[in-house]
Structure 1
């Protein structure tokens, strides 16, 4: 009886490939070695890391205060920032106009009707048509709605900043990437911290409000771009503005002027002014903090 001995598929005459003389022995099994000179899969497959600023991306600059990236930290010119913002806006104008419309609709939904309703109820209470208690209840409900509206618009503002930072880095912002941020919870905490800081500033004869408005301009940028917590993002923004006060303050004045002109143009101008300013400020932040900056 002939003993059935399993054949090595790579032995001569066994039906498998015959190794070349002096060459390496092929691996056992059914897999055929890749041909000589074959290349690994091109970068960009399923294992490719997410684009810069994506939800799964590790912190862009590591710990607080660390600066690194393709563009070293430095200064900027106001005209340079506005010019960059205009070029990126015109290159992706439909997205930015629709995003501005979304911001406007949300603002009207949460702030427009509630304020007028409170005024009507207060006037009715003064005439004696309804009790003061009922008017107070409506006022409290309206205030709650406005707080919710503030949080919603704050999240949308942070998402717009995230989209603007993608544009600054050379990536075209889309609706698919708009909502890809690392932590919505941290954005909400940042919104509450800014609200508290503004309230404290309001108690300081309005001077504190101006200080917070000027020096906190990069707070959301630090949250969505560097994954900093709310307090670290706020203090980092104060330091960034303080170290570049002249150029940042001039840019903020330019942004204020552009926004006023956009509002004067029957509010339609805000569809252009708002994204232009968002892109310009994002460019200024990235130039100050360091990181990817596109050529145009």
Structure 2
């Protein structure tokens, strides 16, 4: 090598700095992959991230909770499900009519007996009071029985919304029949208190407690939780629910005017429509 040739400073023995060692590329981030999320994969929604099963094991959330609905949509849905299972629903409404008539018939008989005794002039205060008390007790029992039947009707309506035709076999299949009875007693007591508050409280109970039975049957809540939860659900969606309740009231008034025969159609239609609204608001399963 010529003396004028410059010497490579990285050659061994040249006295220059030691050449850099290691790979030419920067080290891979996490060996080529980002750090594993939670040990490999994010937790599945059906494992650690899933909320409690809706209404019992095996049920799924069919709609987003709080999904909006219209009155026409709910009533149209109720009509379709009713016409697909009309015989069961007509017979069920007839059953409620018969039960109501059975418990109210003695009170009408007592009134007739009191009137006849008064015309004869041999009626006493104790006789009138006893007849009135007996009729009131039977009416109270009748109100409780019809309220329980209403809850069973809600159970049937929720089955219709799930895509299942309600039957006499499934009518009484509820998680806790005793809780249904307690909810009926609670609603009767709340209505009585509402009457004492100049009727204003009764209107409030009628509007805000509409989903009480739904919460007991569909979400397995106890009577008090179902009652207070219904108040909250209606309050959070007051506009849509109130309009639906007004429509339900108007339709059933029309059914009453048609010699009560119209109620054989309007009661099932509106019961299913309210169950549909409940499922839409709570994210429960809704069949097409």
Whether these two folds match at TM > 0.5 is yes
Per the TM alignment, residue 126 of structure 1 is displaced from its structure 2 partner at its CA by: 4.1
Q: Pick one of 91, 95, 104 that aligns with 2:84.
A: 91
- The separation in 2 between residues aligned to 1:245 and 1:197, in whole angstroms, is 20
> Does 1:255 pair with 2:248?
yes
User: Where does residue 8 of structure 1 map in the other structure?
Assistant: none
User: Where does residue 229 of structure 1 map in the other structure?
Assistant: 222
Q: Pick one of 54, 61, 72 that aligns with 1:69.
A: 61
Give the greater-gyration-radius structure (CA).
Answer: 2
Q: Pick one of 149, 152, 159 that aligns with 1:156.
A: 149
> Does 1:146 pair with 2:152?
no
Per the TM alignment, residue 61 of structure 1 is displaced from its structure 2 partner at its CA by: 4.6
Q: Pick one of 186, 204, 209 that aligns with 2:202.
A: 209
- The separation in 2 between residues aligned to 1:122 and 1:205, in whole angstroms, is 30
User: Where does residue 278 of structure 2 map in the other structure?
Assistant: 285
- The separation in 2 between residues aligned to 1:213 and 1:285, in whole angstroms, is 16
- The separation in 1 between residues aligned to 2:83 and 2:275, in whole angstroms, is 16
Contact 1:125 1:135 in 2 (8 A): no
Mapping 1:110-129, distance limit 5 Å: 110-111=103-104, 113-124=105-116, 126-127=118-119, 128-129=121-122
Unmatched 5+ residue regions in structure 2?
1-51
User: Where does residue 108 of structure 1 map in the other structure?
Assistant: 101
Contact 1:59 1:226 in 2 (8 A): no
Number of residue pairs matched by the alignment: 233
User: Where does residue 17 of structure 1 map in the other structure?
Assistant: none
- The separation in 2 between residues aligned to 1:190 and 1:82, in whole angstroms, is 26
- The separation in 1 between residues aligned to 2:190 and 2:222, in whole angstroms, is 16
Per-residue CA shift, 1:13-58, capped at 9, x if unaligned? xxxxxxxxxxxxxxxxxxxxxxxxxxxxxxxxxxxxxxxxxxxxx9
Per-residue CA shift, 1:263-283, capped at 9, x if unaligned? 111111110011001000000
Per the TM alignment, residue 60 of structure 1 is displaced from its structure 2 partner at its CA by: 3.0
User: Where does residue 180 of structure 2 map in the other structure?
Assistant: 187
* SS at structure 1 position matched to 2:255: helix
CA RMSD of aligned residues (A): 1.8
Per the TM alignment, residue 59 of structure 1 is displaced from its structure 2 partner at its CA by: 6.8
> Normalising by the residue count of structure 1, what TM-score does the alignment of the two structures yield?
0.75
- The separation in 1 between residues aligned to 2:192 and 2:269, in whole angstroms, is 28
Contact 1:61 1:69 in 2 (8 A): no
Per the TM alignment, residue 258 of structure 1 is displaced from its structure 2 partner at its CA by: 0.6
- The separation in 1 between residues aligned to 2:129 and 2:192, in whole angstroms, is 22
- The separation in 2 between residues aligned to 1:285 and 1:184, in whole angstroms, is 20
Contact 1:186 1:223 in 2 (8 A): yes
- The separation in 2 between residues aligned to 1:173 and 1:236, in whole angstroms, is 26
